[in-house]
Amino acid sequence: MHALAWWIVGGVLVAALFLFFVFALYFSIPSKRKFELKGKHALVTGGSKGIGKQLALSLLSRGANVTIVARNERDLKSATTELQTYADQRGQGQKVQWESADLCGAYDQIEPIVRKAEETFGPVDVLINNAGHSVQDSFEKLPVESFEDQMRVNYLSAVHMTRAVVGSMQERRAGHISFVSSAAGQCAIYGYTAYSPTKFALRGLADSLHMEFLPYKISVAVLYPPNTDTEGFQLEIDTMPLETKLISEAAGLFSPKDVAEAHINDIINGETATAMGLDGWMLGVLTAGASPEHNLFRAVVQTLLSGIFRAVMLLYLGYFNGIVKKCYKGRLASAANR
């Protein structure tokens, strides 16, 4: 057979295999379910500031009633006034309320807060577990208490809040639960030995719950925000180790509004993960692994590009490792010159 004919036959076979692969994926991944927010009761933890407050604003813009939960009553009252003013300007009768709670507390302290919030707005339809904070330093310098505190607020608070709402969602066969992880929950870097594990844990929880909740038609999603220009991040910068600061600069800085809008749009469209920017998209493809996916196009892209992005990520890691070594040598030189 002529060489050209062999090329044509080979091309047809490759195309056929690719189409079969896409066809198989189509019937393997769960179907996307769009989620209507109008008239729903949405509860946002850590909703008095930063990304949490912007998530509340975005939920209001889609017609939801919103409960924000945090610890500081003054911040809660200020945020609620701002949010309610925005809701009143929309003229659709939406309401905002706040509940003060120490989200590091035990479940029997958290569950009554949810029941109280439901007395006014009805059962929680949307839960966004946003509460969290970060303290960075090298592993040996971080107080042991920092590891425990960050696990409580970043991870266990999400477990407790989810347990408090899921029973009602299962009974109604409807609902949505989001977990705000971090780009540091996909790629761990210098200084994040206390923070990154809590954000990786949220992904593991979300992936497990996604499979468990499929029969109940409860959707689960994860937001992976990069560096975001919030009050908390500005405070973090002041105490960041130099290595962490230099590595973080490579990812850029995003606004809370852009992060919140992207995630609320993904909730509505039935997506399972929200990433920001080109680096975030690449990380999302690279770390998709065994996580759920509802979007056929994204599933195909993940399959085709994950190997290439692994190579790109190794280049990034080489650059990050170089920063760490340079800073180490700089400290040694500084100590020798004293």
Are 13 and 154 a contacting pair, CB within 8 Å?
no
Answer whether residue 81 is part of any domain.
yes
CATH code at position 216: 3.40.50.720
Residue 1 has pLDDT above 60, yes or no: no
pLDDT of residue 203: 97
Q: What is the pLDDT of residue 174?
A: 97
**Of the listed ranges 32-36, 198-202, 282-286, the one predicted with least confidence:** 32-36
Q: Which domain holds residue 196?
A: 35-305
**What does the pLDDT read at residue 14?**
66
- Token reading at 62: 């889609």
Rounded Cα distance between 257 and 265, Å, is: 12
Average pLDDT, the chain: 92
* Statement: residue 338 has pLDDT above 80: no
Measured in residues, the chain has a length of 338
Number of domains in the chain: 1
What confidence tens digit (pLDDT) does each residue in 3-26 have? Answer: 766 666 666 676 677 676 666 766
Region of poorest pLDDT, from 3-17, 53-67, 125-139, 183-197: 3-17
pLDDT class of 29 with cuts at 50, 70, 90: confident
The DSSP code sequence of 219-257 is: EEEEEE--SB-SHHHHHHHHH--HHHHHHHGGG--B-HH
CB 101 within 8 A of CB 113: yes
Q: Does some domain include residue 329? A: no
Distance CA 37, CA 49 (A): 22
User: Which residue in 253, 273, 248, 252 sits closest to 262, CA to CA?
Assistant: 273
130 touches 47 (CB < 8 A): yes
> What pLDDT is attached to residue 192?
95
pLDDT digits (tens, 9 = 90+) for 87-102: 999 999 999 999 999 9
Q: What local confidence, expressed as pLDDT, does residue 190 receive?
A: 96
In a domain, 42, yes or no: yes
First to last CA, the chain: 79
pLDDT for 62 equals 96
Active-site residue list: 181, 195, 199
Distance, in Å, from the CA atom of 87 to the CA atom of 64, rounded to the nearest integer, reads 10
Q: What is the percent of the chain with per-residue pLDDT over 90, rounded to a whole number?
A: 77
Q: Is 294 inside any structural domain? A: yes
pLDDT at 130 over 80: yes
The amino acid at 78: S
Q: Is residue 22 part of a domain?
A: no
pLDDT, tens only, 142-159: 999 999 999 999 999 999
Mean pLDDT of 106-126: 96
Would you say residue 312 lies in a domain? Answer: no
**If DSSP codes are grouped into helix, strand and coil, which group holds residue 93?**
coil
Long-range pairs of 257-263 with CB within 8 A, sequence gap ≥ 24: 257/54, 257/57, 257/58, 259/51, 259/54, 259/223, 259/225, 259/228, 260/51, 260/54, 260/55, 260/57, 260/58, 261/54, 261/58, 263/55, 263/58, 263/178, 263/221, 263/223
Instruction: Give the residue-averaged pLDDT of 229-247.
Output: 83
Position 5 scores a pLDDT of: 66
Residue 310 falls inside a structural domain = no
The mean pLDDT of 204-220, rounded to a whole number, is: 97
Given a contact cutoff of 8 angstroms between Cβ atoms, the answer to whether 260 and 287 are in contact is: no
- Report pLDDT for 15: 65
Residue 7 lies in a domain: no
Average pLDDT over residues 272-286: 94
Which residue type, as a one-letter code, is found at position 83? Answer: L
**CA dist., res. 175 & res. 169, Å (int):** 5
Q: Percentage of the chain with pLDDT > 70?
A: 93
DSSP, res 185: G
- Dihedral of the CA atoms 29, 26, 274, 243 (nearest 10)? 80
Structure confidence by residue, pLDDT tens digits, 186-203: 999 999 999 999 999 999
